[in-house]
Structure 1
Amino acid sequence: MSDEQIKLAQIELAQVGPATIARRLVVPGSIVPNADLIAHVSVKLSGTVAELRKNIGDDVFKDEVIAVLESREVADAKSEYLAARLTHDLAQELANRDKTLWDGRAIPEQQFLRSRNAAAQSGMKVNIARQKLMALGLADNEIAALPDASEARLRRQDVRAPISGRVVERKVELGAAVGRDNLETELFVIVDLSRVWVDLSVASSDLPLIREGQPVKISARGLSESTTGKIIFVSPLVDKDTRTTRVVTEIQNADRTWRPGSFVTAAIALSERNVPVVVPTTAIQKLEGRPVVFVRTKDGFEKRDVVLGQKEDQALEILSGLTPGETVAVTNTFSLKAELSKPKDED
C-alpha cells in the first residue's frame, strides 16, 4: 500500500518504543474543593451593606473590593484615629519647641519633660487607635489615606477578597444589617478551583499498598480526558461501618474541568516499570487465536506475531515480536486483517 492508499483507508501509524507500565489499584472517588483554597468573607463590625460589587458565579482577585459597608462603628474608629493623630502632631511640635528652648536654657527642664511625656502619651493613643482600625479590617494603605478622605468615606468600609477565585455563595442582600448581635457576619464564600482534591475510599485490606506521594490517574465517565495527581494524605482512621479509609489526592484544575461533587475513578500506581516496547491496544488483532500487529514496510504492511505482556488502560506491553523504532498500524487495523483473510482467488 502506498502512503496515499493508507491515508484513504484512514489507517493511522505510530512508532513503537519504550514506555512506563504501572500496576494500579482502582478505587472510587469524588471531587471536592481544596480546603486550603476556600475563603469565608466575614465582617468584623456592625453596619449595613451599601454596595455589593460581586454576585454568585463572579470571578474575583485577591484584595479586590467585593462589597462596601456603612457603619457608625468604623466612622467612630476613624474619627478617633484622626483626632489622636492631630493631637499627637501638636504634642510632638510642642515637645520639639520646648527641647530647643531648654537646650538654650530659656525654660526649666521640668516644662520640657512634661511636653515630652505628653508627646509620648499621644503617640501611644495614635498606635491604639491604629490597632483598632486594623482589627476592624482596614489595611495600612487605607489608614494612611484617611487624612485626605472625604467625610462620606469615613463611615464606609471596603470589604476585600482574601484570595483569588470564584464566588460560590452570597449570603446577604443590599441594605442588609450585618455584624454583631446575632446578625449575619458572613458575606461571601470564595473558592479557588485552580487546584482541587479527590476524596478516595480505599479498603482497609489495601492500605498496606498505599502511601503519600504515590501518583494517581483520575478519569470520569463522560470526560474524554484524564489527569494525574499525587496522594497528599492517608487518614490514620478506618471507618467502622464501611471498613474504608479516606485518601486525598490533589490535582491541577486550571481550566475547571473537574467540578466539585463529580464522581470519578482513581487508578493508584502501586508499582511502575519501564518496558522497551508498548503499543496501543487498537494495534492488536487476532488471527487464528494469536495476537498480531501490522508493521509498516516499504511495500505496505507485514503481519507480525507478538507476545503480549502487561496491559494499562489503552496500552499493551509487547514481550517479543517487535523492536523499538518500528512503525505499526494503530487504527482501522481490522481492514488489514480482513484483507489478509481474503482467499487468494479473490485478489
Structure 2
Amino acid sequence: MRSALLVALAPLLFSACSGGPDSPASNVASAPAPAGLCEHEVPAAICTQCNPEMAPVFKAKGDWCDEHGVPESHCFRCNPALTFSEAPKDWCKEHGLPESKCTKCNPSLVAGYIEAGDYCREHGYPESACPICKGTSIFPPDGMRVRLASADTAGEVGIETVVAARRAFGRSLEVVGSLEFDPNRSADLAALDTSVVRSVHADVGDRVEANAPLVTLASAGVGARRAELRAAEVAASTAESRLARERRLFENGLAARAEVEVAEREAAAARANLRTARAGLDAAGASAGSSGGTYVLRAPFAGTLIERNATVGRSAEAGEVLVRLADPKAIRARLDLPEAHAASVRVGQPVTLELPGGATRSAQIDAVGAAVDPRTRTVPARVHLDAAGGALKGGTFLRARIAVGEAAPTVVIPQRAVQQVEGKAIVFVAEGQEGSYRPVAVELGAALGDEVAVRAGLQGGERVVTTGAFLLSTETRKDAIGAGCCEVE
C-alpha cells in the first residue's frame, strides 16, 4: 500500500511580527518597538493578537483576561507597570518552543541536549523548553490534514467513523461487586444435636415447596427431648386434674382457698414446661407425634437447594449446616465502593450492571453502607434486582457503572476515538473530501463505560474516526514510524 496515506501540513499563514517586510509593525507609523517586540509591545513570537493560534495555549494555562481578550500576563490595561524588553528571536510555531531548541525540526540537536543532561526523554524535547511539560505546545497546527490516497483506501485500512452526538451525559463511577441471595429469603439448615443422617430428600438445584422434607436425621438428644415432652405432657395432665379436684372440694367447703391457689400455680408451671418441650422439638424439625430420636429438617419457604453437605450415614455435629436453601427470585447485587468515592454515591442513583457474557441490567442504588470495611477499605452498596425466571445466579461476579453526576447535554464520542499526541487528546474528524481527516485537539470530560464527554473542540455532528484512529495519529508524528507508506509535506 505505498502512498496510501499522505499527511499535508498547510503553511502557517503568519510570520513573527518582530521584523521583516510582512511584519504588522512595518506598516504602522509609530515609534519603533524594542527589538523582538511587536507593534503590541509584547514578544512577537507569543503575541496572541499577531498569532491568534497562541490564544488557546494561554487559556489552557489559565492565563487569560476575558475583559480585554489578551493573556493576563500581556494585559497592559490590567497591569499598567507591565513592560517587555527582550523576546525570543525565533519560535517554532508547529511545536511551541524556540526554533533553535526544537529537536523535532532539528534532530541533530538531540545528542547535545542529552550530553548536557537537558533532555526530556518522555517527549523528546529539551527539558528546559519542553512544550508538553510547559504547556506551550500548539499541536495540531492549523491546516494539518491526513489524506488517504483514495476513497477506497479507508476500507482497505479499516477506518471507521461515528457521529459525535450531543445528548444527555453524566459522570459515572465504575466499581465491582457480586450477586447474592437476599438473606431474608435464604436459610442454612443445621443439625440440632449430634446426629446421624438417615435420608436425604432433595439435591442441589431441586425446587422445593414450603415445609417440604429435606433431610431426616436420628439423634439421641432429640430422643431425650421427646421423652421430656412426654413427661411434660403427663405432668401437665396430672396438674390439671389436681386443680379440677381442688376446685370441686373448695366449692363443697371441703378444701381451703390456699390449696386451690397452690394447685393453680402447679398447673401453670406444668403448662409452661409443656410449651418449652414442644418448642424445642419444633425448632429441631421433630414432630411431637413421632417417637424415638428421628427428626426432619424442612424447607421454611419455597426455594431451590443451593448447597448439600448431607449424605446417608454421615454423622453431623450440633450446628453443622447440612443444606442451604434460597429463593432464586430474591436476589440482589452487592457493590464494593472505594472509600475515596463512596461519599458520591446516593440512594436512588441509576446503575448499570455488566454481567458475564455481555448481559446488562439497569437498576438503582437501594442502600449504601454506613461503615468502611477495615480489611478492604470499601463501603457496601445494595441493588435489588428482578430475577424472575432464575436467570441470575448467586455469587456471580459483575461490574457496575453508577451515574453519580447529573446528566447534562454534551458532545459524546467513543473513548477509542481519542489519541494522545504531543501530550494532547486528539480526535480525527472526517471532512467533506473523501479520505481527508483533520486532527482536532479536544478537552475531555467525564467517562461513562466506553464513551467520554467532550467539553471543548467539537460542536456535535462531526464524524470522528474510531477504528483506525491510532494509524492516523502515527502519521502526524515526525518521529513515528507510521504506516511506512506516506509522504510528509
Counterpart of 1:74 in structure 2 is 222
Counterpart of 1:161 in structure 2 is 299
Equivalent residues of 1:39, 1:191 under 8 A apart: yes
Amino acid at match of 1:160: R
Counterpart of 2:34 in structure 1 is none
State the superposition RMSD in angstroms: 4.3
Task: Give CA deviations for 1:65-93 in whole Å, capped at 9, x if unaligned.
Answer: 32222233323323332333234334323
Counterpart of 2:47 in structure 1 is none
- Give the secondary structure class of the aligned counterpart of 2:230: helix
Amino acid at match of 1:49: V
Amino acid at match of 2:391: T
Equivalent residues of 2:218, 2:293 under 8 A apart: yes
> 1:263 aligned to 394, 397, 403, which one?
397
Amino acid at match of 2:393: R
Amino acid at match of 2:341: D
Task: Give CA deviations for 1:278-327 in whole Å, capped at 9, x if unaligned.
Answer: 9xxxxxxx98469xxxxxxxxxxxxxxxxxx999779999x999xxxxxx
Equivalent residues of 1:218, 1:229 under 8 A apart: no
Task: Give CA deviations for 1:216-252 in whole Å, capped at 9, x if unaligned.
Answer: 1112342344232315224643778x8x624423231
Counterpart of 2:231 in structure 1 is 83
Amino acid at match of 1:177: S
Counterpart of 1:185 in structure 2 is 320
Equivalent residues of 2:242, 2:263 under 8 A apart: no
Counterpart of 1:200 in structure 2 is 336
Counterpart of 2:173 in structure 1 is 25
- Give the secondary structure class of the aligned counterpart of 1:56: coil
Aligned mates of 1:30, 1:156 — CA distance in 2: 39
1:214 aligns with 2:374: no
Aligned mates of 1:159, 1:271 — CA distance in 2: 50
Counterpart of 1:341 in structure 2 is none
1:223 aligns with 2:368: no
Aligned mates of 1:70, 1:209 — CA distance in 2: 54
Counterpart of 1:251 in structure 2 is 384
1:131 aligns with 2:267: no
Residue segments in structure 1 that go unaligned for 5+ positions in a row:
1-18, 279-285, 291-308, 322-347
TM-score for both structures, normalised by structure 2: 0.44
Counterpart of 1:304 in structure 2 is none
Aligned mates of 2:193, 2:374 — CA distance in 1: 42
Offset at residue 270 of structure 1 (A): 1.3
Counterpart of 2:187 in structure 1 is 39
Q: Percent of pairs identical after alignment? A: 20
Counterpart of 1:102 in structure 2 is 250
Higher relative contact order (Cα pairs below 8 Å, separated by 6+ residues): 1
Superposed counterparts of 1:278-289, under 5 Å: 288=431
Counterpart of 1:173 in structure 2 is 311
Aligned mates of 1:198, 1:289 — CA distance in 2: 49
Offset at residue 269 of structure 1 (A): 0.9
Higher share in strand: 1
Counterpart of 1:332 in structure 2 is none
Aligned mates of 1:228, 1:155 — CA distance in 2: 49
Equivalent residues of 2:347, 2:364 under 8 A apart: no
> Measured at CA, do residues 238 and 24 of structure 1 come closer, stay the same or move farther in structure 2, by a change above 3 Å?
same
Equivalent residues of 1:219, 1:227 under 8 A apart: no
Offset at residue 61 of structure 1 (A): 4.0
Aligned mates of 1:86, 1:238 — CA distance in 2: 54
Equivalent residues of 2:372, 2:378 under 8 A apart: yes
Residue segments in structure 2 that go unaligned for 5+ positions in a row:
1-166, 413-428, 434-444, 454-458, 462-489
> Measured at CA, do residues 119 and 179 of structure 1 come closer, stay the same or move farther in structure 2, by a change above 3 Å?
farther
Paired residues in the alignment total 265
Offset at residue 122 of structure 1 (A): 4.2
> Measured at CA, do residues 139 and 122 of structure 1 come closer, stay the same or move farther in structure 2, by a change above 3 Å?
farther
* Structure with greater Cα Rg: 2
Equivalent residues of 1:46, 1:73 under 8 A apart: yes
Offset at residue 268 of structure 1 (A): 0.6
Offset at residue 173 of structure 1 (A): 1.2
Equivalent residues of 1:21, 1:273 under 8 A apart: yes
TM-score for both structures, normalised by structure 1: 0.59
> Measured at CA, do residues 289 and 191 of structure 1 come closer, stay the same or move farther in structure 2, by a change above 3 Å?
farther
Amino acid at match of 1:249: R
Equivalent residues of 1:49, 1:69 under 8 A apart: yes
